[in-house]
Structure 1
Amino acid sequence: MSTQMIVTVLYDSGYGHTAKQAQAVADGVRRVPEAEVELIAVAGGDAPWDKLAASDAIIFGSPTYNGTVSARLKKVMEDSTRTAWISQSWRNKIAAGFTNSGAMHGDKLNSLVTMALFAAQHGMIWVGLDIFPGKSPQEKNRVGGWLGAMAQSHDESPELSPISSDLDTAAYLGQRVAEVTKQFMAGAGQ
């Protein structure tokens, strides 16, 4: 008997580039049997706390602005104190993250660290990338992230960037999170 799992991609996107990355993460989740994915943009206001509570995994995504996550994602993080942190209702959920900025590096690591620390405070289990950094622009993980998926978007429309290798990296992260979640649920006897 199979168990349906819910992986939520909770993200912010200022200009559409990170939304494109979020879609790639969701496409990767869909590669795993029994995985259902929910894309939730935080730009709409309050987070859907009931959907987040029902999720088996939450993948956080944000553009990197001024060396950290966006103000809208940060607001969700702060608002989670009463709804999820005090009760530790996200404890043992699988977590991961992805980010995007205009520069090749652009302090993206700090955004992923912010997300990982947030997840740790909630008692979540963080999943990073397990692929070596690519040596060319055509390879996955070309930006060289281990903590999560990183993408670069130049000052151009989301139709042109992030490039396909960055989106492939994001899809790989989504698939990996779904596989780890499935493995974790099987081990927990759910």
Structure 2
Amino acid sequence: MIERPSLDKHLDSRTFRDFYYLKEELVDFCRKNGLPVSGGKIEIAERIAYFLDTGKVMPAKTGKRTAAEISEITEDAKIEADFVCSERHRAFFKEHIGKAFSFNVAFQKWLKANAGKTYREAITAYDQILEDKKKGKTVIDKQFEYNTYIRDFFANNPGKTLEEAIKCWNYKKRLPGHNHYEPLDLAALES
């Protein structure tokens, strides 16, 4: 098995992309090499790969968005462009959906992608998102590779434990290439 190389400025970007690194490792690398540390894991990884390829610092994305204000949120009001989750919005959705309401990632994405639709449509979309989640139809974003791996591990190995899933994940992330679950990963349980 190829050992995961340590993340340093002498690593080439292709090798860097072939291995899994925690966000805290990426942030630590950025701090040591004068790179911006803001943004999500994917953005930071892109910044590091660019640095490894060119030796240059890619600036962090800037531009703070300001939320458009509507005077009153009603079911017939239109979702504003550049939607920002606020306490006013949370109160509205709790009133119309229930106390268990939360701004889950899928719903936040829906709101941001559907400016101009009504809040009534948002309520319907929220219910559909919860149904899809119950049926396992939701997609986990790329930066949550661990969550995706664990979900896929259990889908393929219903009798296994979380401890076994984590052992296989730790084995997988040390390998070059993708970090998706494969039945071959069960080799980690034999050692």
More strand by share: 1
* Greater length-normalized contact order (CA 8 Å, ≥ 6 residues apart): 1
**TM-score by shorter chain over 0.5:** no
More helix by share: 2
TM-score calculated relative to the size of structure 2: 0.27
